[in-house]
A = this chain, B = another copy of it.
Amino acid sequence: MREPVTPDPGSGKTPIEQRMVELFRAEEGKVFSGEELGNALKVSRTAVWKHVNKLRARGYGIESVPARGYRFLTAPDTLTATELSTGLRTGRIGRRIVSADETDSTNLLAFRLAEKGAEDGVVVIADSQTGGRGRLGRRWESPGGVNLYCSVILRPAMPPVRAPQLTFLSAVAVARAVESVTPLCPRIKWPNDILVNGLKIAGLLNEMSSETDTIHFVVLGIGVNLNMKKEQFPEGLRYPASSLMLESGACVNRVEFTRALLTALDTLYEDYLEHGFASARNEWLRRSMVQGRRVRVSSGDEATEGIVGGIDDDGALLLQRGDGVSERVLAGDVTILDDLHP
């Protein structure tokens, strides 16, 4: 991924390379003359040649057909703004995509862009992260070329106490994307671990800037292990982790997965803004491993047991205890107790 960070995420112009890829794709297999491309893109034939070479440098296969022109052969599976934007039909999420070859963390880059005014729905993606972070601030392994590390800037007009609901949307979006590009059956474990075959395949980490009653912006950080190999995982992980490739046995197309994720999030967010948390919550509960199960939630030295009755508007787990008392649990590690006695 050689594309630099888009300097101005607020600029509304579609880059020429992206429009060229769209032209090629509209009539697959066709040989386009330099003149034809130049006319369509309103640039000179020399400029056409330069942009074709730029695309080739990014891994696109474009054949030069002597005396006739150019034929589009293959697109690379790299998470560039050009490749992701082509054919992405979302309303808000990813209307503007900022991609980087490497960054400290996509959340931090998104936070800086949001501070400078980047609008609702801007997506930041990096091929690799030098300072990726996971649960409890631990390191999140972020090698290049295999996974997805992205951050989505949202500016919902609502108070900050509702922000935790957005994490539930991103968990459901990851689950939907996994289902749409693999035969795997993802499950969500409260609070928001996304598991495949009992192994963690994604991490969610959020940032927010707000006043008491108003969110300025939220950054939803989403990391998904797509094609990571066994030897790329660090030793001694607290939660056993895996990748979609390891679990499905097949390499996942990163561009296809990312488009599916952004599309799912777009639909969920649109519905959330219009109708509130109910529908995302219901979908979360359907995919959750805990609804109706007997669980123990441990936090520090304390533990509570009960039957899970759902989650409330704060994302708290609602437990029906043995003594009939209902309890709200805001944090902790969940163990499912009735696994052996279904």
B212→A314 contact, CB < 8 A: no
List which A198-231 residues lie within 8 A (CB) of chain B.
204-214, 216
Tell whether A192 is near chain B: CB-to-CB under 8 Å. yes
A191 interface residue (CB < 8 Å to B): yes
**Which chain B positions have C-beta within 8 A of A145?**
none
Chain copies in the assembled complex: 2
On whether the beta carbons of A213 and B332 are closer than 8 Å, the reply is yes
Given contacts A111-B111, A315-B212, contact A330 B205 (CB under 8 A): no
Q: Is the interface of A mostly helix, strand, loop or mixed?
A: mixed
CB contact between A206 and one of B105, B115, B209, B316 (< 8 Å): that residue: B209
Contacting B at CB under 8 A, from A106-124, are: 107-108, 111-112, 115, 117
Q: Contact flags (1/0) for A127-159 with B, using CB distance below 8 Å?
A: 000010101110000000000000000000011
With contact pairs A158-B331, A330-B161 given, residues A136 and B214 touching in the complex (Cβ less than 8 Å)? yes
A164 contacts chain B at the CB level, 8 A cutoff: yes
CB distance from A194 to the nearest CB of B (A): 12
- Does A258 have its Cβ within 8 Å of any Cβ on chain B? no
Q: Which residue from B158, B167, B213 sits with its C-beta under 8 Å from A191?
A: B213
What residues of B have a CB within 8 angstroms of the CB of A214 in the complex? Answer: 135-136, 331
Interface, chain A (partner B; CB < 8 A)? 105, 107-108, 111-112, 115, 117, 131, 133, 135-137, 158-164, 167-168, 191-192, 204-214, 216, 314-316, 330-332
19 inter-chain pairs at a CB distance below 8 angstroms, sorted by A residue, are A111-B111, A133-B216, A136-B214, A159-B330, A160-B163, A161-B314, A161-B315, A162-B330, A191-B211, A192-B211, A205-B209, A205-B216, A206-B209, A206-B210, A207-B208, A208-B208, A212-B315, A213-B330, A314-B314
